[in-house]
Amino acid sequence: MSAARTKARSRNAKRALIGGEGDLPQSEAPPASRPLHARMVTWLAPTDLLLAAAIGLWIIAVVQIRPAAINDWGLISALPLAYFAALAVLVGSFAAVLSRSHPSPVRAWLHLAALVAALHAVLPLVLAYPQYAWVYKHFGVVGYIAQHGSVDPSLDIYQNWPGFFALFAWFDKVAGTSSPITYAAWAPLFFNLLALLAIDASFRALEVRDRHRWLALFLFVPANWVGQDYFAPQAFDFVLAEFLLACLLTWFRTARPAGWAARFEQRVGALLRRGTEPPAQAVSSDPTEVRRPVLLAAVFVVFAVVTFSHELSPYMVIAAVLALTLAGLLRPRWMVVAFAAIAGAYLLSRFQFLRSHYDLLLSLNPFQNVQNGAATPNQGVAGRVFTGYAARGLSVLVWALAAFGAFCQARSGRTVMLPVALFLAPFLLVFGQEYGGEAIYRVYLFALPWAVLLAAGGVMLRDGRGWRSWATVALLPALLIGLFLQAYFGLEETNVINGNQIAASLYFEGHAPAGSILVLAGPDFPQRISANYSRYVVTSGAYDPVLLSDRHFRGRALGSADLPAVDAFVLAYRKPGSHAFLAVTSEMKTYCHVFKLAPDGSLDGLQRALAASPRWSVFYANPEVVIFELKEPAAGQTAINPSGTGAALNG
């Protein structure tokens, strides 16, 4: 009888552990038998309440934001105190989640998603249209493919790398949307969330510990300031490239590095470590021989999509695969040769177009390749200069933290060969390409996942607990977020696009005679917005010709005395017998003010001179945009050779 009672008690205890009913007293009833409110109290943690408070503060803040308050210092000038409080509570709550020995994956992901939304869902909610003038030309390419069902490689660079645009042309058809303008504002939120999933897959393939992995992902969000997450091929290809790399690390990573690499790491480690214990070796992935051909075929197909979607991203993947192969961390070795063959074959098929339209193929001066004259922080209003320094400070901080994290981990005996190799691989680009002055941004972007992994490793090395650990984990993302808000949103005054600008662009593309050329007085106009853009002159630049890109017009007030030179500049682009137009907008005037391309009021003087000139007539006007049409040139007038028009870049 005693044995029977013992069995019954044991059986009841097991049932209680898995949520079944037993013979326990009512006060000890399992959670499943308790009232709903009692079970909710058991499930809830203090961090859940903090997360809810952060979301509530963020909602209150978003309701209070007024776009008209955005000034020379960017979006930060329009953010209420509730917004900063929301971010502070969110960071503190996330640090509390990581302070536990086994962080909840659900809570960690909720905090990650909340951070992405807090930073990237603000503008879609407060602005009526997608930001960035240059994103609108992507809508025209999508519309062209949707309308014609094919591409015209002779038209522009986007139709030579059409994967991204073809995908969204198909999406628009399936979803029944008329243009990506209806959803493109949400692209940063969408692509950042996808990027986190892809990067997390890579970290899981390396068997990174949970707390280390969550902190690295959390740091990635505010460290990603370079603005390559909007509706563009680069954002799409970055996510695809990260998923591809995750597949390679999961399926084809080897157990032991090459002999030279292992010896090098051991010698470096011996110099740094107090002890003599060598670093642990990586765990290999060993797909069966039956699965290997299928997996190889899958990665080659994905790489082919990367290749014909963006002209630069495949070479970033090749650089990473090459670094891992040389270090003996990836097999088979010939895989990098296959990737190079795919990318090289596609590039050769587009070589003549690039040769005749762009200068994106080769530049062997690494010092020149890391420079971007348009992004130097020594020109513009105080807010613009501060934004430039904030961006540089954030980049240097991330790289310094990565170096410190690698040093600390190597000194403690942990192997860091693989993340260091992947962090350094993108820098190979600067030895062969400037990418129109934007190569360094792409280098930073593709190195970033590994930079934050190394940085987080240094922070989590001691794996401590208590308030000191909480403060350390909270301080780092808080610092990055502070710099991010200025670096990412500091030029928002020049990025806002309104309905008057879109209406003017659509009117021009719907009513101007075929073969016309549209010249812009200054940067920042959403042109090439519809499928009709192919009916007009599409120059080799990323934008239609810009008057202030020429040194003759920059840095001084413009007026009636400059009209002959303006006429000649426009005629340099006009085809014989076609029509030429010049657009002046309020946003161009703002851009000129922020970047100090010309004295304040310069474009107002030009607009008054054009309105008074018998050589120009108003083609279209609304409260913020005026488009003038040039009449037949005066007898004996010749076109000038414009300078400084720049090269086009594929998003």
pLDDT (tens digit per residue) in 348-372: 998 888 777 655 555 555 545 455 5
> Domain check: are 543 and 421 in the same one?
no
Pairing state of beta strands 625-630 and 580-585? Answer: antiparallel
In tens, the pLDDT along 490-518 reads 999 999 999 999 999 999 999 999 999 99
Q: Last residue of a domain, which of 436, 463, 490?
A: 463
Q: What is the pLDDT of residue 645?
A: 39
Say if 170 falls within a structural domain: no
Say if 576 falls within a structural domain: yes
> Domain check: are 228 and 317 in the same one?
yes
SS3 string of 439-453? HHHHHHHHHHHHHHH
Q: Which DSSP letter does residue 531 get?
A: G
Say if 141 falls within a structural domain: no
Q: What is the pLDDT of residue 256?
A: 76
Q: CA–CA distance from 11 to each of 4, 14, 34 (Å)? A: 10, 5, 20
**Region 636-650: what's the mean pLDDT?**
43
In tens, the pLDDT along 40-71 reads 445 678 889 999 999 999 999 999 999 999 99
Q: CA–CA distance from 626 to each of 294, 560, 640 (Å)? A: 58, 17, 24
> Domain check: are 307 and 431 in the same one?
yes
Cα–Cα dist 346/307, whole Å: 7
Say if 101 falls within a structural domain: no
Q: Which DSSP letter does residue 534 get?
A: G
364 contacts 370 by C-beta, under 8 angstroms: no
Counted domains in the chain:
3
The number of beta carbons lying within 10 Å of the beta carbon of residue 543 is 21
> Domain check: are 239 and 294 in the same one?
yes
- Which positions ≥6 away from 27 have C-beta within 8 Å? none
> Domain check: are 338 and 271 in the same one?
yes
125 contacts 197 by C-beta, under 8 angstroms: no
> Domain check: are 371 and 510 in the same one?
no
Phi, psi for 473 (deg, rounded to 5) = -65, -35
> Domain check: are 540 and 421 in the same one?
no
> Domain check: are 539 and 415 in the same one?
no
What DSSP assignment string belongs to 151-167? --TTT-GGGTS-HHHHH
**pLDDT of 117 over the 70 cut:** yes
Q: What is the pLDDT of residue 546?
A: 92
What DSSP assignment string belongs to 21-50? --S--GGG--GGGS-HHHHHHHH--HHHHH
Say if 22 falls within a structural domain: yes
> Domain check: are 318 and 442 in the same one?
yes
> Domain check: are 438 and 523 in the same one?
no
Say if 76 falls within a structural domain: no
Helix (H, G, I), strand (E, B) or coil at 649: coil
Q: By C-alpha distance, which of 613, 485, 579, 542 is closest to 75?
A: 485
60-74, 98-112, 386-400: least confidently modelled range? 98-112
Say if 78 falls within a structural domain: no
What count of Cα atoms within 13 Å lies in the side-chain half-sphere of residue 59?
6
Phi, psi for 330 (deg, rounded to 5) = -140, 135
The number of beta carbons lying within 10 Å of the beta carbon of residue 633 is 16
**Region 267-286: what's the mean pLDDT?**
54
Measure CA 132 to chain center: 13
**pLDDT of 285 over the 60 cut:** no
Find the helix packing angle between 187-205 and 210-223, rounded to 10°. Answer: 150
**pLDDT of 314 over the 50 cut:** yes
Cα–Cα dist 603/590, whole Å: 10
Cα–Cα dist 456/462, whole Å: 11
> Domain check: are 341 and 416 in the same one?
yes
- Domain residues for the domain of 545 are 498-630
> Domain check: are 459 and 508 in the same one?
no
54 contacts 100 by C-beta, under 8 angstroms: no
pLDDT band of residue 264 (cuts 50, 70, 90) is low
pLDDT band of residue 594 (cuts 50, 70, 90) is very high
Measure CA 1 to chain center: 71
**Residue labelled with tokens 């050589």:** 615
224 contacts 192 by C-beta, under 8 angstroms: yes
Say if 232 falls within a structural domain: yes
Q: By C-alpha distance, which of 258, 348, 255, 251 is closest to 300?
A: 251
Tell me which H or E stretch contains 282: none
**254 or 221, which is more confident:** 221
- First CA to last CA distance, the chain: 79
Max avg pLDDT among 32-46, 110-124, 619-633: 110-124
Cα–Cα dist 519/629, whole Å: 10
Q: pTM of the full predicted structure?
A: 0.86
**pLDDT of 38 over the 90 cut:** no
In tens, the pLDDT along 473-492 reads 889 999 999 999 999 999 99
Cα–Cα dist 347/300, whole Å: 16
**Region 542-570: what's the mean pLDDT?**
88
